[in-house]
Amino acid sequence: MNTNDMDFLKWRMEEASPEDLALLDRVADFGEFFEDMCFAPGTKPYELTKCQAKDDDGEWFDTSMSLPDELEYFSYTWFRYKVEKQEGLSGSFNHLTSVLTVEPDANDSTILHEMIHLHEFLINDQPMYLHDMLYWALYRDLKDKIPKLDEIITGHAHLLTESSLFNQGGLHDILFLLKSFDLDIRMGYPLGTVFGYGRIDDFKGYDYVK
């Protein structure tokens, strides 16, 4: 058992409340929605890692480029989960302590929102081209599902919008926007539900193909 496994076991056995463990279970339930952010086989981003190589006999075979261990062997046991009241926040992800926190009455959209932060923290700690690959794969997948996607991105990318969101609650970049839309579609939510910060009103009049 490695050090991280021992730390997780100690947290689970000695520190985590029943509510914390229930949150962990819910996060794990949603894990399949985030396989693309780890470039897992069968996802759109994984397609951008596929290539061919020659074997010892000089024959070409299908394979894929290697990924960082943090993506290849990702586990939610690398993080801790807490259910508690927060001042002015329904949820948060602290990248310094690796703790995902939600309030006791938090709904699924809040958990999904903070899970994007968790996964984007992981991506942003890797070479920047992986961020770009993920952005491009998500954009291409959503382009046909959300007819006015470019219009939405243009509005979101404006300095006034991004700086205002940053001052309210940290980084919510275009990658975050796209992944939140992907989750809205998966969950059958109106656009902007997972993003939060009142943006569901900003996206009224926009819809996705069901």
Residue 207 lies in a domain: no
d(Cα 180, Cα 193) in Å, to the nearest integer?
Answer: 8
Name every residue whose Cβ is closer than 8 Å to that of residue 84 and which is 6 or more positions away in sequence: 101, 103, 104
Give the Cα separation of 125 and 120 in Å (integer). Answer: 8
Domain count, the chain: 1
- Residue 208 domain-assigned (yes or no): no
Residue 209 lies in a domain: no
Looking at mean pLDDT, say which of 13-17, 34-38, 160-164, 170-174 comes out highest.
34-38
Provide the 10 A C-beta neighbour count for residue 10.
11
CA angle 184, 93, 108 (to 5 degrees): 35
Q: Which of 2-6, 14-18, 95-99, 172-176 has the lowest mean pLDDT?
A: 2-6
Q: Is 91 helix (H, G, I), strand (E, B) or coil?
A: strand
Q: How many CB atoms lie within 10 A of CB 122?
A: 20
Q: What is the pLDDT confidence band of residue 1, given thresholds at 50, 70 and 90?
A: very low
Q: How many CB atoms lie within 10 A of CB 33?
A: 17
The pTM (predicted TM-score) of the whole model is: 0.91
Determine the angle formed by the axes of helices 174-187 and 128-143, rounding to 10 degrees.
40
C-alpha–C-alpha distance, residues 46 and 67, integer Å:
10
State the residue range of the domain holding 196: 3-202
Q: What pLDDT band is residue 55 in, cutting at 50, 70 and 90? A: confident
Tens of pLDDT, residues 156-202: 888 878 787 777 767 899 999 999 999 999 999 999 999 998 789 88
Return the C-alpha torsion angle 40, 209, 199, 76, nearest 10: -20
Look up residue 203 and give its two tokens: 């996206």
Assess if residue 10 is contained within a domain.
Answer: yes
Q: Does a structural domain hold residue 147?
A: yes
Report the alpha-carbon distance of residue 128 to residue 16 in Å, rounded.
34
- pLDDT recorded at residue 2: 47
